[in-house]
Structure 1
Amino acid sequence: MCAHVMIAEDDEKQAELVRRYLERDGHTVTLVHDGRAAVESVRHRAPDLLVLDVMMPRTDGLDVLRILRAEKYELPVLMLTARSTEDDLLLGLDLGADDYMTKPYSPRELMARVRTLLRRTRRPPEAAPEHLLTAGPLVIDPDRHEITVDGERIDCTPGEFRILAAMAAEPGRVFTRERLLRELHGYARYIGDRTVDVHIMNLRKKIEPAPRRPALLLTVFGVGYKLADPAKRTGRARP
């Protein structure tokens, strides 16, 4: 699966190394070395995937991500960070990153993550059309990658879309965090349960009238999450 990948990394030697690995896999690559250049380059030609370093001059990677998501760019983003605390990593996910790696990292592992993200965010041209997924006021169009609630379009990151689409395909079914992690990243074991919690929290802000008292995206205590089935009402789910 060939793609256009942008690398935003101020360490030119590291960026060049990643470029060689990507091109060896058949991808075309754009290199930029500061955050402002990354934003302008995406505006000029949005890539299929952005590999984004957090610590960059002029505009850091987190601000780049804020700008791109505010401007409704839905491209998948893999963040590179030297910060290893959970709060720093969750902040990137909260802003709309789809995956992250902590430096130093293995270029081979980076390539595995790139393949996973591209596989899960790009549909082959020959794929058959899919039907709309509905759950109460929620409507998901997998072909158009659109979500509406009561007719109003909701903007989601690729990761949020995959979670919601999986749950909307089976409303009322309880999804464990492990199952939702597989929807996000296959069977990769480097992502923690908190990743799912952050995505759920962000989705509730977008689809729930009262996010702290969710009526659609429910927590099932000790198990996981489910999307309320409008045809079945139970008292077992908790916000």
Structure 2
Amino acid sequence: MKNSILIIEDEDHIRKFVKINLERNNFEVKEAANGEDGIEIVRKEPIDIVVLDIMLPGIDGFQVCKILREEFPTLGIIMLTAKSQDIDKIMGLEYGTDDYMVKPFNPMELVLRVKSLIRRMEVNKEGFVNEMLLDGPFRIDIYSRKFYKNDKEIELTPTEYSIAKLFLENPGKAFKRDEILNLVWGFEFVGDSKIVDVNIRRLRAKIENDPGNPYYIETVWGIGYRWKDME
């Protein structure tokens, strides 16, 4: 079955150009010229990833992202932005995007970003053993891609889930930012490594008792991050 991508972009030539390149790579592509129509499409049809422009008529991309993330926590979202936009704002806690692209961009790079995000979202259910990752109060159900703290489910974006899984599989290991970038986003990712920091902040906000004084996700100064070994 083809993965379904929705492009929410008001500029017709950009939308059509992106659609052509995604369809050439065997994706099923749907289109919306504004945020309101895009939200309705996601509500009515199965969509895997939304490619979302920030500057839209009516409600902007930030608000669209916020609505979609609240209603569809596991939906993949890639934001399209101008060079002047601040990555911290694009990837901020209140929006929850998985990735971003700066205009103008190479359409093949967007295809690679989409494929990378899909890999983070995929679950191979054929013959899959129901495996659990356990560490302290945390539990990850690999089969269902669900994350729990003290048996209470915490909704994570696909990217946040991939980072959490990487940490729980490697407690006590210090990861450089570039290592996390390569292992989660893929070696073809050419964006700013700051995307790692923003996702770590988001993850801490969801799982730490005191995000301002994190206990589970430790900062290794000058290197990156480490999941506290609780054994």
TM-score bucket (shorter structure): over 0.9
CA distance in 1, matches of 2:223, 2:110: 31
2:220 paired residue number: 220
2:13 paired residue number: 13
Please give the residue correspondences for 1:162-181 in structure 2 after superposition, counting only pairs within 5 Å: 162-181=162-181
How much does 1:130 deviate? 5.2
How much does 1:127 deviate? 6.1
Q: Which amino acid aligns with 2:90?
A: G
Please give the residue correspondences for 1:156-235 in structure 2 after superposition, counting only pairs within 5 Å: 156-231=156-231
- Assess if the C-alpha contact under 8 Å between 1:46 and 1:75 holds in 2: no
Q: Which deviates the most, 112-121 or 131-140?
A: 112-121
- Assess if the C-alpha contact under 8 Å between 2:10 and 2:56 holds in 1: yes
- Assess if the C-alpha contact under 8 Å between 2:50 and 2:78 holds in 1: yes
How much does 1:224 deviate? 1.6
1:209-238 C-alpha deviation (Å, 9 max, x unpaired):
11111111111222221111111xxxxxxx
TM-score, normalising length from structure 1?
A: 0.90
Structure 1's consecutive aligned runs of 4 or more residues displaced over 2 angstroms after TM superposition are 123-130
RMSD of Structure 2 on Structure 1 (CA): 1.6
Q: Which amino acid aligns with 2:22?
A: L
How much does 1:191 deviate? 2.2
Q: Which deviates the most, 151-160 or 75-84?
A: 75-84
Q: Which amino acid aligns with 2:64?
A: V
CA distance in 1, matches of 2:109, 2:51: 13
CA distance in 2, matches of 1:141, 1:189: 27
CA distance in 2, matches of 1:203, 1:53: 24
1:56 paired residue number: 56
- Percent same amino acid at aligned positions? 36
Q: Which amino acid aligns with 1:109?
A: E
How much does 1:64 deviate? 0.5
CA distance in 1, matches of 2:114, 2:146: 23
Q: Which amino acid aligns with 1:90?
A: D
List gaps (5 residues or longer) in structure 2.
Answer: none
List gaps (5 residues or longer) in structure 1.
Answer: 232-239
- Assess if the C-alpha contact under 8 Å between 2:82 and 2:102 holds in 1: yes
Equivalent residues, number? 229
1:93 paired residue number: 91
